Chains A and B, each alone.
Chain A
Amino acid sequence: MGKNDSYEVFVEMERDGNGEMGAKIKKKKEKKKERMENMKKEIDIDDHQLSFEELEMKYTTSVTKGMTSTMAAQVLERDGCNELKPPKGTPEYIKFARQLAGGLQCLMWVAAVICFIAFGILMGQGNLTSYDDLYLAIVLIAVVVVTGCFGYYQEFKSTNIIASFKNLVPQQATVFRDGQKFNINANQLVVGDLVEVKGGDRVPADVRIVSAQSFKVDNSSLTGESEPQSRTPEFTHENPLETKNIAFFSTTCLEGVATGIIINTGDRTIIGRIASLASGVGNEKTPIAIEIEHFVDIIAGLAIFFGATFFCVAMTIGYRFLEAMIFFMAIVVAYVPEGLLATVTVCLSLTAKRLARKNCVVKNLEAVETLGSTSVICSDKTGTLTQNRMTVSHLWFDNHIHSADTTEDQSGQSFDQSSETWRALGRVAGLCNRAVFKPGQDAVPIPKRDVVGDASETALLKFTELAFGNIVDYRNRFKKVCELPFNSTNKFQLSVHELEDPLDLRYLLVMKGAPERILERCSTIMIKGQELPLDEQWKEAFQTAYMDLGGLGERVLGFCHLLLNEKEHPRGFGFDVDEMNFTTSGLCFAGLISMIDPPRASVPDAVMKCRTAGIRVIMVTGDHPITAKAIAANVGIITEGSETVEDIALRLRIPVEQVNKRDARACVVNGGQLKDMSSEELDDLLRNHPEMVFARTSPQQKLIIVESCQRLGSIVAVTGDGVNDSPALKKADIGIAMGISGSDAAKNAADMILLDDNFASIVTGVEQGRLIFDNLKKSIAYTLTKNIPELTPYLIYITVSVPLPLGCITILFIELATDIFPSVSLAYEKAESDIMNLKPRNPRKDRLVNESLAAYSYFQIGAIQSFAGFTDYFTCLAQEGWRPLLCVGLRSAWENAYNQEVQDSYGQEWTFAQRLYQEYTCYTVFFVSIEICQISDVLIRKTRRLSLFQQGFFRNKVLLSAIVFQLCLGTFLCYCPGMPNIFNFMPIRVQWWFIPVPYGILIFIYDEIRKLGVRRHPGSWWDKELYY
């Protein structure tokens, strides 16, 4: 079964140290390398090879009496408490600071600084006419801080959800000191302590076993093996992870009792080292963060381009240098989309909330989108794809393999239970079983009940309970006379029972065990209730069935029984299991039962959906290749008809070497092979085989696999629950941990947590991620558009010297008040097409904000909006007496606060205050124009390709209410008394609301034409230039 493939936990550590992190600061690198080297050295545990005497010497302890209390106190002083240091939590202020330092945030900081500078210059010059620059700077900072607080709160909340899972009850351990037995807190244990561990306990540290009685531990969180591992004092393997005489910290003891000497405590345990390995792995930047940076680059580039252009223009026109400089700054600042940060944050947290309702908790808001971009999912097997619970899956009797129902809720189909043979087989399985349910679980569904007993007995107990009903009662009817528990030398278990019928005085002997051992003892086989002699033909059939079931990666047990001869074994016969004074051969073979840790019911469907969504699912597990492959085939990671190289070789009956590797879609690689591979070979492997299963992988190898996928340009999601997954979870673009079965280490390293452990939730996550990417695109396009009608007034103001058409405070109201809700409402938009049938986006090509989006928003829709604004602006001025031609060049007279007699086109004279209110009216009119056009804009942004009539006007209720809200807020700002002097809004005439309407209709029609062209002529020039 490949059990000898050893784990090379830290073998690849050097690679990280040298090559790929080369770009990092040298000092840091050296430090890191040093640490990694230390870890590598420390793995050389030799305690498992020492004899007890040497062990006692080394730790000044005794395998019978334990340490002396004084010695223990000294060692505790030296080594510290036996607990995992919590991963170096980022201090809260750094977490908060991180919220303030994203791409957009930096842009806004720069803008705020520029505002301060401009304000300073104006103040220094002494001609301070308004505090706009100061207000702007303050608002910019406020926006960054408020959204920062919001993001921080979100993070804080989800961290709390995660923290609540932590088991806060201090663990107790039984320890021998000075020859006395104590119960102390496990964190007080020290190296050299002699501890006792029994069924149900957590192993309190890395323990070298000194004595053990049928001691079994569950290593699944460390190695991914779902089968219990027995632990004995014998040294069996050089590799400390493989040898049977070491039990590891934090694994649970399933049954039996053992005592052992502690050889490592706290962070020096294997688990501790893996945990610290995870914290040494850098976090990847989320794809959305990369996209936003790219977008900020575009914005900053355009801002500087515009600023510089108009700086030159201003200089040529004849402004003074300082004035031109201030213009430059104002333009750069006007280009900053103040509202976008809030929009993006709110959109992401809306999706995060939606996901939380579906039991996916996102730790970092940006991770919401990552799943949508994911192209590879590396999934752990145990506990993620499977239930992490041994369950009866197949039975062989009557020369047929029957499938049992392995679903979690028993919704599947069961086999025909009418056969006599089945009753016999079921009776053996039920009676020859020492497992019992823990009391007080009557309300719990049978598959979920806790059981005392080992995994396969548990599986059989649940199986028979489901088949026969109350098994305790059943067992009582067949009173047990004696029993021989399973042991590894004879590999079977037997028990003798009285019969149900009190008149029948025969004894029933039932036996189960390794199938070949059972078969040896049988002379007959039961077929359809008839005992037939076990001839070669039946033996052949048995072998075939055994091989088949074994090939499915299942653990197979054989069952047989015998009604003991009444004469030889009369009532009251003294059965002695040590002497074996009764017949144990010539039994009747009843059948085989095989067990597996079955996949979760929802997994195959979810894997299928991932596949249609173009996402590759790779299994990476610590379990054995055969089991891994079987589960992979079962859940669809290896599809029907796909073959591995080995399969092809077997089918064609040729040696493995002759198979053309390209023919094999699937590939199962185990850790041993992986160890000898160069990273290029691994890349090749991943490129050539679409269906991959990695078995027997160490935590470090999981990390390497993730890195390899990332090297190939994929965005990688990793799912896992065990400690062994945590480094990979951290390295992945998005780490997904299981909420129920997941270990704390895994949850800490992950970005997302599935509260219900349901792999299918990932599909929801992918869908939501893709949707939010699309919708963010729309939101951003919407938000960017109005940048142009906010900027052009200023440009015209500079170049043509008209009275300022749009004030700074008004712009802030558009950005941060009226347009926020509509842009957020686009996050509620339904997908335009079936996004789950598309390939994941190519992170290099499908950008969040691409050129055509910027060009279309800025230079087309934005331009139309500007024209709408100016039409309204000039109309408003002309109707009040200032004809357009007079306005040109009017600026200096208009803005002269000492001139109370400026003449309009009709010869009327205006005081400065009168002109100022007129200017405010212009602001308001321009504001209203932008609002009206933005209503049209938000409607067209609902779709990028489909016609709005196909998508439906009224489907998105939030968007409709957002439009109503926008209008109401606009009206309120215009007509609320007191507004003119506070926020520079004037009550405007009703007809000025309608002047921009034709432009709004134009926007709508133009966009419909654009979409029509895009739909009708895919790939054409029109499509390329105008589809964003």
Chain B
Amino acid sequence: MSNKDKKTCGDVLDEWKEFFWNPRTREFMGRTGSSWALILLFYLVFYCFLTGLFALTMWVMLQTLDDYKPTYQDRLATPGMMIRPRSKTLEITYSMSNTETWDGYVNTLNEFLLPYNDSLQAANNEFCTPGKYFTQDDNSDVRNNPKRSCQFNRTLLEDCSGLEDQYYGYRNGQPCVLIKLNRVIGMKPGDGEAPFVTCTGKKYKVGKDTWKEDSDKIGPIAYFPPNGTFNLMYYPYYGKHAQVNYSQPLVAVKFLNLTMNTDINIECRIMARNIKVDNDRDKFAGRVSFLLRIDNI
């Protein structure tokens, strides 16, 4: 009994060898060639059938989809917000005296604003009536495509357009931060009243139950376009297939008198009647927070 239970290493190896290739029965891993062929053929047919079925259902499913608008958008009730320049950790820290620390930000902004050049905008997009949603509905089954887009000219950003001050204020300690709202098809933010961006100091935790705020260090802020509004005419968005040249509206925030040499936590949020911002789980839904630190020593 014990002999049967306890096999030596050699026995096990031999057993495996025989399992792998049994010269007596000409079996490879317990099956002869023809047996392998048969079973593999069976599985080939089986999987071909399944894959075919899968492909068919996928195809049918894709047929049911609209080309221009997703079936559901319930995940995107509150659009996300983001800043430019952005780094992984959303920190904008630099030393005024050291050009290299901030020219990266300037380059990013230059590049980002390139499509917003007035000339390009004039060529691709048209001038719309401000203060009004630019709706371009389809007539029942006739698509009204391609949809036109409204111009968002770089000059709208005035001091932050990088045209007059090509360093976007970074050189003199008055940095511009661009704020964009994520694109969501069909969204009409503000419900007829133009949504706008406000930036304040962000409350942050420093210890247990002690919160801190850096509002006093922020100083005055300038918004471009004025009041930091996203004009209604840029909405609704019709998707990248229907509205190829869509220019996402931006708001530039210029910090005019920041306290130097200290970390300042700033939070910008969208103020719109139909957008809820306070989602604990999503730090970027309708708001964005970032850290500013400018050293002048």
| CB neighbours of A20 from chain B (8 A) | 1-3
Closest to A980 in B: B281
B172 sits at the interface (CB 8 A)? no
Q: Which A residues from 861 to 889 make CB contacts under 8 A with B?
A: 863-864, 867, 870-871, 874-875, 878-881, 883-884
From known contacts A22-B3, A710-B1, A1025-B39, infer whether A910 and B282 are also in contact, taking CB-CB under 8 Å: no
* Set B46, B51, B74, B184: member contacting A908, Cβ < 8 A: B184
Determine the distance from Cα of A24 to Cα of B5 in the docked complex, in whole angstroms. Answer: 11
From known contacts A878-B62, A880-B70, infer whether A860 and B284 are also in contact, taking CB-CB under 8 Å: no
From known contacts A874-B61, A900-B182, A908-B185, infer whether A23 and B76 are also in contact, taking CB-CB under 8 Å: no
Closest to A1006 in B: B46
Interface 9-residue window, one of A70-78, A231-239, A692-700, A912-920: A912-920
The distance from the CB of B276 to the nearest CB of chain A, in whole angstroms, is 14
Query: Is there an interface contact between A908 and B284, defined as CB atoms closer than 8 Å?
Result: no
| CB neighbours of A907 from chain B (8 A) | 183, 185, 237, 239-241, 246
Chain A: interface secondary structure? helix
Query: Is there an interface contact between A909 and B183, defined as CB atoms closer than 8 Å?
Result: yes
What number of residue pairs across chains A and B have CB atoms under 8 A from each other? 130
Determine the distance from Cα of A23 to Cα of B4 in the docked complex, in whole angstroms. Answer: 9
A93 sits at the interface (CB 8 A)? no
The distance from the CB of A872 to the nearest CB of chain B, in whole angstroms, is 10
Query: Is there an interface contact between B61 and A867, defined as CB atoms closer than 8 Å?
Result: no
A904 sits at the interface (CB 8 A)? yes
| CB neighbours of A909 from chain B (8 A) | 79-80, 182-184
| CB neighbours of B43 from chain A (8 A) | 859
Q: Which A residues from 773 to 804 make CB contacts under 8 A with B?
A: none
The distance from the CB of B198 to the nearest CB of chain A, in whole angstroms, is 19
* Set A874, A900, A906, A918: member contacting B68, Cβ < 8 A: A906
From known contacts A21-B2, A911-B284, infer whether A878 and B182 are also in contact, taking CB-CB under 8 Å: no
Query: Is there an interface contact between B75 and A918, defined as CB atoms closer than 8 Å?
Result: yes
B47 sits at the interface (CB 8 A)? yes
Query: Is there an interface contact between A863 and B89, defined as CB atoms closer than 8 Å?
Result: no
The distance from the CB of A364 to the nearest CB of chain B, in whole angstroms, is 19
Q: Which B residues from 15 to 47 make CB contacts under 8 A with A?
A: 30, 38-39, 42-43, 46-47
* Set B6, B62, B71, B76: member contacting A914, Cβ < 8 A: B76
Q: How many residues of B contact A (CB 8 A)?
A: 52
Chain B: interface secondary structure? mixed
Query: Is there an interface contact between B54 and A914, defined as CB atoms closer than 8 Å?
Result: no
B205 sits at the interface (CB 8 A)? no
* Set B39, B51, B182: member contacting A911, Cβ < 8 A: B182
Closest to B83 in A: A900
Query: Is there an interface contact between B61 and A875, defined as CB atoms closer than 8 Å?
Result: yes
| CB neighbours of B76 from chain A (8 A) | 908, 910, 914
Query: Is there an interface contact between A870 and B1, defined as CB atoms closer than 8 Å?
Result: no
* Set A883, A914, A1002: member contacting B65, Cβ < 8 A: A883
Query: Is there an interface contact between A906 and B70, defined as CB atoms closer than 8 Å?
Result: yes
B57 sits at the interface (CB 8 A)? yes
| CB neighbours of A477 from chain B (8 A) | none
Query: Is there an interface contact between A900 and B53, defined as CB atoms closer than 8 Å?
Result: no
Query: Is there an interface contact between A908 and B182, defined as CB atoms closer than 8 Å?
Result: yes
Type the 1/0 row for B245-280, where 1 means its CB is closer than 8 Å to any CB of A. 010000000000000000000000000000000010
B143 sits at the interface (CB 8 A)? no
| CB neighbours of B58 from chain A (8 A) | 871, 874, 884
Query: Is there an interface contact between A881 and B82, defined as CB atoms closer than 8 Å?
Result: no
From known contacts A898-B88, A904-B70, A1021-B38, infer whether A883 and B5 are also in contact, taking CB-CB under 8 Å: no
Query: Is there an interface contact between B1 and A707, defined as CB atoms closer than 8 Å?
Result: yes
* Set A859, A870, A906: member contacting B185, Cβ < 8 A: A906
The distance from the CB of B87 to the nearest CB of chain A, in whole angstroms, is 9
The distance from the CB of A623 to the nearest CB of chain B, in whole angstroms, is 29
A130 sits at the interface (CB 8 A)? no
A901 sits at the interface (CB 8 A)? yes
Query: Is there an interface contact between B284 and A879, defined as CB atoms closer than 8 Å?
Result: no
Query: Is there an interface contact between B282 and A22, defined as CB atoms closer than 8 Å?
Result: no
Query: Is there an interface contact between B70 and A912, defined as CB atoms closer than 8 Å?
Result: no
The distance from the CB of A1006 to the nearest CB of chain B, in whole angstroms, is 9
From known contacts A874-B61, A901-B82, A906-B240, infer whether A863 and B282 are also in contact, taking CB-CB under 8 Å: no
Query: Is there an interface contact between A1025 and B42, defined as CB atoms closer than 8 Å?
Result: yes
* Set B30, B46, B54, B185: member contacting A860, Cβ < 8 A: B46
From known contacts A859-B43, A901-B82, A907-B239, infer whether A914 and B184 are also in contact, taking CB-CB under 8 Å: no
| CB neighbours of B182 from chain A (8 A) | 900-901, 908-911
Query: Is there an interface contact between B54 and A867, defined as CB atoms closer than 8 Å?
Result: yes
- 29 of the cross-chain contacts (CB-CB < 8 Å) are A22-B2, A24-B2, A860-B46, A867-B53, A871-B61, A878-B61, A879-B65, A879-B71, A880-B70, A880-B72, A881-B70, A900-B82, A903-B183, A905-B70, A906-B68, A906-B185, A907-B240, A907-B241, A909-B183, A910-B76, A910-B182, A911-B80, A913-B281, A913-B282, A913-B283, A913-B284, A913-B285, A914-B75, A914-B282
- Add 4 more A-B contacts to A707-B1, A881-B73, A901-B82 (CB < 8 A): A880-B70, A884-B62, A901-B80, A908-B182
Which A-B residue pairs are the 6 nearest by beta carbons? A907-B240, A913-B282, A911-B80, A881-B70, A909-B182, A879-B71
